[in-house]
């Protein structure tokens, strides 16, 4: 499976510009990738204190665009936008397939210091999306710090763990450490896509997007502040063979997640 990471700057609160740039980047992937990962809040940047930028779930232009892009370029697309639904705001990740179907996952862990927890409602359901016979766990940015929410409890709940993020450079060492930790805990491939550039809050983002396989090999990675698209060739059968040969999950502590 070919997974593309799109690491690039995001124009602050400028949906039209970001939409046009995203379309051009995805169009260049036609015939080259099966799944494309976009940074968190790819249409606006992490401007969580601007709820007027949220799109209604029932009539989201960006979701319509993602469905059109997925169909036209023949790939699944994963990324988050601000969504309004039932008087609540969500940082909602969409996994959109070429046939127009989609799954979505609301960010569970909201970052208080960025204003996200003040305006947004946290997700209450962990979502596994299936595409091309592969199971993907859909998580967002700050969720990376909390291993219970990503735990591959049954050993094969999912094959690939996806993280879309706006993770600033002042905390990038944690990003670099936590992504391989999730690989080790869950015997899965982990894909993390981050942005680069500066935002209106004075934060700088230096990327470090990567795909890490079950043996901790980095199939693709980005250097500091590098903008562009890179494609990882992920061997799904190797993931499953690795788990069969070393079924470490059988020795893990069993538990249930109680959602409040």
pLDDT of 155 over the 90 cut: no
Total structural domains within the chain: 1
CB 228 within 8 A of CB 193: no
**Domain span holding position 6:** 2-251
CB 137 within 8 A of CB 126: yes
Q: Which is nearest to 63 in space by CA: 97, 25, 86, 35?
A: 97
pLDDT in tens, 50-96: 999 999 999 999 999 999 999 999 999 999 999 999 999 999 999 99
| pLDDT at 93 (0 to 100) | 98
- What token pair was written down for 98? 């070429």
Average pLDDT, the chain: 95
Q: What positions carry a catalytic annotation?
A: 40, 107, 141
Q: Could you tell me if residue 117 is inside a domain?
A: yes
State how beta strands 160-164 and 189-193 pair.
Answer: parallel
| pLDDT at 207 (0 to 100) | 98
Contacts of 101 (CB under 8 A, 6+ apart): none
Of 113 and 151, the one with more pLDDT: 151
| pLDDT at 4 (0 to 100) | 98
Q: What is the model's pTM? A: 0.96
Q: Could you tell me if residue 219 is inside a domain?
A: yes
Residue 233's alpha-carbon distances to 25, 74, 137, 238, 253, in angstroms, are: 19, 17, 18, 12, 32
Q: Could you tell me if residue 205 is inside a domain?
A: yes
| pLDDT at 216 (0 to 100) | 97
Q: Could you tell me if residue 257 is inside a domain?
A: no
| % of residues, the chain, pLDDT over 90 | 87
CATH number, domain of 89, equals 3.60.110.10
* Residue 192 DSSP SS3: strand
For CA atoms 139, 144, 226, 131, the dihedral sign is: negative
CA 17, 19, 25 angle in degrees (round to 5)? 105
Reported as a pLDDT band with limits 50, 70 and 90, residue 158 is very high
First to last CA, the chain: 36
Q: Could you tell me if residue 86 is inside a domain?
A: yes
């Amino acid at each position: 499976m070919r997974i593309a990471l799109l690491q690039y700057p995001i124009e602050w609160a400028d949906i039209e510009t970001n939409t046009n740039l995203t379309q051009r980047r995805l169009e260049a992937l036609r015939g080259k990738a099966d799944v494309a990962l976009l940074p968190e809040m790819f249409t606006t940047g992490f401007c969580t204190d601007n709820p007027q930028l949220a799109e209604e779930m029932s009539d989201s232009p960006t979701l319509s665009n993602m469905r059109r892009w997925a169909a036209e370029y023949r790939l699944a697309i994963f990324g988050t936008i601000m969504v309004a639904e039932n008087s609540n705001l969500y940082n909602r990740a969409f996994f959109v397939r070429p046939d127009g179907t989609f799954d979505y996952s609301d960010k569970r862990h909201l970052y208080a210091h960025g204003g996200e927890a003040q305006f947004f409602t946290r997700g209450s359901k962990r979502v596994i999306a299936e595409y091309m016979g592969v199971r993907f766990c859909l998580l967002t940015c700050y969720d990376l710090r909390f291993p219970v929410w990503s735990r591959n409890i049954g050993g094969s709940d999912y094959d690939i763990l996806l993280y879309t993020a706006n993770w600033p450079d002042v905390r990038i060492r944690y990003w670099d450490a936590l992504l391989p930790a999730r690989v080790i805990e869950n015997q899965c491939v982990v894909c993390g896509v981050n942005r680069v550039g500066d935002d209106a809050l004075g934060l700088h983002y230096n990327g470090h997007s990567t795909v890490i396989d079950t043996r901790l090999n980095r199939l693709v990675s980005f250097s500091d502040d590098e903008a562009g698209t890179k494609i990882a060739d992920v061997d799904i059968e190797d993931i499953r063979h690795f788990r069969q040969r070393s079924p470490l999950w059988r020795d893990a502590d069993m538990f249930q997640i109680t959602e409040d």
